[in-house]
C-alpha cells in the first residue's frame, strides 16, 4: 500500500502549545499534502510540499519532508482551540491527475 | 472565494435503490473527483474525471458506480443498486492543473 500513515492517531494539548503530527509513506511521491477536516465537514487543503522541497511554512504551519525516510511532519505552533480537527496527510505519486492517497489521520484536540 | 458545492448534505436510501449524488465543481477547474470516507476511516479515492471521461478509478469504483457531467456545471456520482457497505461520506473535489484539490462538504449517504 502506498498510503500515508499518520501518528499519533490522537493528540490532546493545551492552547498555546505546539502540535506535531507525523506521516510515513511507502512509495515515491510527486508531492505530499496536508488537509484538515472539522467534524462532519469537508477537507480543507493546508499545505503542499513537493518531493524536491524539504521544508515549507504557511502562517503557524510548518511542514517538513524527508524523502530518504519517506516521512513528513506537520507542526502547528501556538495552537488555538479552533485548531481542533482531524489532520490528514495525502500523497500524490503522479503529476497532473491528483489521485491522492490519504492516511487515517490524527485527531487533534486543543483544550482552552 | 469559489467553492465546491454538494447536494444533498444527507441522503437516506434503502438497500437496492439507486442514488445520485450531485456536485457543482469550481467553474474554471478541469479535473473532478469523487472520494468517500466510511465513518471513522480514511478518505478513499474513487474516480477522477477529465475532458468528459474517466481518467482513473479505484477498485472500489465497480460497475455499480458511474459518473457524469451532464450539463457542463454539474458532476454526478450514481450508485445503481446501493448496498449497506456503501454508507459513507462522499466528497466531490475539483482542481486545475498543478493546484491542490478543493473539496465540497460532502454528502452523507445512509443505506438502510
Instruction: Please report whether residue B76 resides in a domain.
Output: yes
Q: Indicate which CATH number applies to the domain containing B48.
A: 2.60.40.10
The answer to whether B102 contacts A45, with C-beta atoms less than 8 Å apart, is yes
pLDDT, residue A95, reads 57
A97 pLDDT tier (thresholds 50, 70, 90): low
Distances (CA, A) of B92 to A7, A36, A45, B28, B69: 26, 16, 14, 15, 13
Number of domains chain B contains: 1
Please write the tens of the pLDDT for every residue from A54-65: 999 999 999 999
* B70 inside domain: yes
The alpha carbon of residue B7 is apart from the nearest alpha carbon of chain A, in Å, by: 13
**Cβ pair B41:A104 closer than 8 A:** yes
Give B103 to chain A, closest Cα distance, Å. Answer: 6
Taking a C-beta distance cutoff of 8 angstroms, is the pair B4, B26 a contact?
yes
> Which residue range forms the structural domain that includes residue B25?
5-99
Domain membership of residue B55 (yes or no) is yes
Which among A97, A100, A102 is the nearest to B50, CB-wise? A97
CB atoms within 10 A of CB B43: 25
- Please report the domains of chain A, with CATH numbers, ordered by start residue: 5-111 (2.60.40.10)
3 state SS for A20-52: EEEEECCCCCCEEEEEEECCCCCEEEEEEEECC
What's residue B25's pLDDT?
A: 96
- Percent of chain A at pLDDT exceeding 70: 93
Using DSSP, state whether B2 is helix, strand or coil: coil
Q: Is there a domain that residue B56 lies in?
A: yes
Q: Which of B38, B33, B17 is nearest to B85 (CA)?
A: B38
Percent helix / strand / coil, chain B, rounded to 5: 5, 50, 45
The alpha-carbon gap from B36 to the nearest alpha carbon of chain A, in Å, equals 11
Q: B58 lies in a domain?
A: yes
Return the DSSP state at B72.
S
Express each pLDDT in B46-89 by its tens digit.
999 998 999 999 999 999 999 999 887 899 999 999 999 999 99
Nearest to B105 among A42, A100, A105 (CB): A42
C-alpha to C-alpha distance for A53 and A26, rounded to whole angstroms = 18
- In this prediction, residue B67 carries a pLDDT of 97
Chain A CA closest to residue B49: A97
Amino acid at each position: 500500500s502506498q498510503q500515508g500513515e499518520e501518528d499519533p492517531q490522537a493528540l490532546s494539548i493545551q492552547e498555546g502549545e505546539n502540535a506535531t503530527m507525523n506521516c510515513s509513506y511507502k512509495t515515491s511521491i510527486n508531492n505530499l499534502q496536508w488537509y484538515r477536516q472539522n467534524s462532519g465537514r469537508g477537507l480543507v487543503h493546508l499545505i503542499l510540499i513537493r518531493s524536491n522541497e524539504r521544508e515549507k511554512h504557511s502562517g503557524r504551519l510548518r511542514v517538513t519532508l524527508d524523502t530518504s525516510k519517506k516521512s513528513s511532519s506537520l507542526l502547528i505552533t501556538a495552537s488555538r482551540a479552533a485548531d481542533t480537527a482531524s489532520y490528514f496527510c495525502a500523497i500524490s505519486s503522479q503529476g497532473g491527475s491528483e489521485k491522492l492517497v490519504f492516511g487515517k489521520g490524527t485527531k487533534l484536540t486543543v483544550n482552552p | 472565494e469559489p467553492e465546491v458545492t454538494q447536494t444533498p448534505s444527507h441522503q437516506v436510501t434503502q438497500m437496492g435503490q439507486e442514488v445520485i449524488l450531485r456536485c457543482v465543481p469550481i467553474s474554471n477547474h478541469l479535473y473532478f473527483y469523487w472520494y468517500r470516507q466510511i465513518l471513522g476511516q480514511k478518505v478513499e479515492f474513487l474516480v477522477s474525471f477529465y475532458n468528459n471521461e474517466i481518467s482513473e478509478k479505484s477498485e472500489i469504483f465497480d460497475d455499480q458506480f458511474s459518473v457524469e457531467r451532464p450539463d457542463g456545471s454539474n458532476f454526478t456520482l450514481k450508485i445503481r443498486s446501493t448496498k449497506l457497505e456503501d454508507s459513507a461520506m462522499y466528497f466531490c473535489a475539483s482542481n486545475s492543473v498543478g493546484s491542490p484539490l478543493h473539496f465540497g462538504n460532502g454528502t452523507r449517504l445512509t443505506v438502510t
